Chain A
Amino acid sequence: MEVILGNLLRAGVLLSAAVVLSGACIYLSHHAHEPADYRIFRGEPSEFRTIPGVIQSVINGRGRGLIQLGLLLLIATPIARVAFSIVGFAIERDRMYVAFTLIVLAILLYSLLGSGLGTHP
């Protein structure tokens, strides 16, 4: 079980790195010669701040949207690992740790969905 979970983590990281890399190619092919400036914090536009916004910009073929999708996959990887741990503890009939893991999962999901990431831009 633990070995499967470890491989799941590695696969998730490699998949997200591949998505980020392909987004990087599109992004750099369009914007390579523009000046880079991160001195002033402006905050990202909503298309890069919410899940529906990111999906929409991927459909529009935007490189940076694809990078954000890869980063979302990366964030989802440890969350998936926690979710699968619930199954692992349930097989061992360890109710206490099923409850602990559910608490952790609830906090993670609140962070992802409760902070406005899931809402429409």
Chain B
Amino acid sequence: MTILDFTAVVAIVSFVAGLLGSLTGLGGGVVLVPLLTIFFHVDIRYAIGASLVSVIATSSGAAASYVKEGFSNIRIGMFLEIATTFGALLGAFLATRIPTSALAIIFGAVLLYSAYLSRKPRPQAQRSLPPDPLATRLRMNGSFPDLEGPRSYNVQHVPTGFSLMFGAGALSGLLGIGSGAVKVLAMDQAMQIPFKVSTTTSNFMIGVTAAASAGVYLSRGYVDPGLAMPVMLGVLAGSLLGSRILVKAETKSLRLVFSVVILVLGLQMLYQGFWGKI
């Protein structure tokens, strides 16, 4: 394949991944690394470097519109970013030390977990929980616009959420993904943050988390300009289009299709990792 063909095909695949990732809310980065390694035979380290860069682009591109709607909670985001950036830095250093087959196996496991999570209904945070003393001291409780006017919420279990976020950051740094699945676990399940607030806040955090490991990846030579260029431009264009045409009726079947794709890619990554093909 010549560089021109390769660039064009990778750009189209990245565009579709970005579009589907944004329409389903599952993120495009998670399918990019397996697609690049399995179908384009790209070394997983180059694939992770390119995917990480595209994660920053989609997160920063989308955050602008979320901030205006008043859903994202900047204080929760900034506090948890201490955990995610620290984890991301650690994950990026780990990624340069462990064998690529181990990276593929961890990636496969994360894909399977994401596929499982996307089929499960998201837990609705309970209304009117008592305020938690630590969350109150950290000024995390807030409110957001709901159908019946502003709805307030009280954040719970801050230490658990903080530790889970460290894990999410480490996975993001290790695999070059946004690791939305672990962030959901931390913010929805542990901290009981309402769905709309947790989704938008996590999206705003993803770019900062990825930036923390991107420096390490770039300086270690994992970010190839020829590969990162079509991936970044494709995913960015796809996700920007996706955020404009968000059609609610079709997302359900789209989510099903996308989670099957994630499942199959996860199994492939596990297979190739265990048999030493990556």
Please state if B226 and A64 are interface contacts (CB–CB under 8 Å).
yes
Complex Cα spacing A86 to B82, Å: 14
What total of chain A residues lie within 8 Å of the partner, measured CB to CB?
66
Known: A71-B232, A96-B138. A49 touches B57 (CB 8 A): no
Please state if A110 and B89 are interface contacts (CB–CB under 8 Å).
yes
Complex Cα spacing A74 to B229, Å: 12
Please state if A64 and B74 are interface contacts (CB–CB under 8 Å).
no
Please state if A43 and B216 are interface contacts (CB–CB under 8 Å).
no
In the assembled complex, which residues on chain A have CB atoms less than 8 Å from the CB atom of B213? 111
Please state if B60 and A35 are interface contacts (CB–CB under 8 Å).
no
Known: A34-B3, A104-B85. A20 touches B56 (CB 8 A): no
Q: Which of A71, A78, A117 contacts B207 (CB 8 A)?
A: A78
Complex Cα spacing A93 to B51, Å: 38
Interface of B is mostly: helix
Please state if B53 and A116 are interface contacts (CB–CB under 8 Å).
no
Mark A103-121 against chain B: 1 for CB-CB distance below 8 A, else 0: 1100110111101110000
Please state if A107 and B41 are interface contacts (CB–CB under 8 Å).
no
Within the complex, what minimum Cβ distance (angstroms) separates A56 from chain B? Answer: 14
Complex Cα spacing A82 to B59, Å: 14
Q: Which of A9, A39, A45 contacts B42 (CB 8 A)?
A: A39
A28 at the interface (CB under 8 A from B): yes
> Closest 8 A-B residue pairs measured CB to CB?
A43-B221, A36-B6, A44-B221, A6-B64, A67-B225, A111-B215, A6-B67, A32-B4
30 contacts between A and B (CB under 8 A): A6-B67, A9-B63, A10-B60, A13-B236, A21-B233, A23-B225, A24-B233, A27-B225, A27-B229, A31-B226, A38-B224, A38-B227, A41-B43, A43-B221, A44-B224, A45-B221, A64-B225, A65-B225, A71-B225, A71-B228, A74-B60, A78-B210, A79-B208, A82-B81, A108-B211, A108-B215, A111-B85, A111-B216, A113-B215, A115-B215
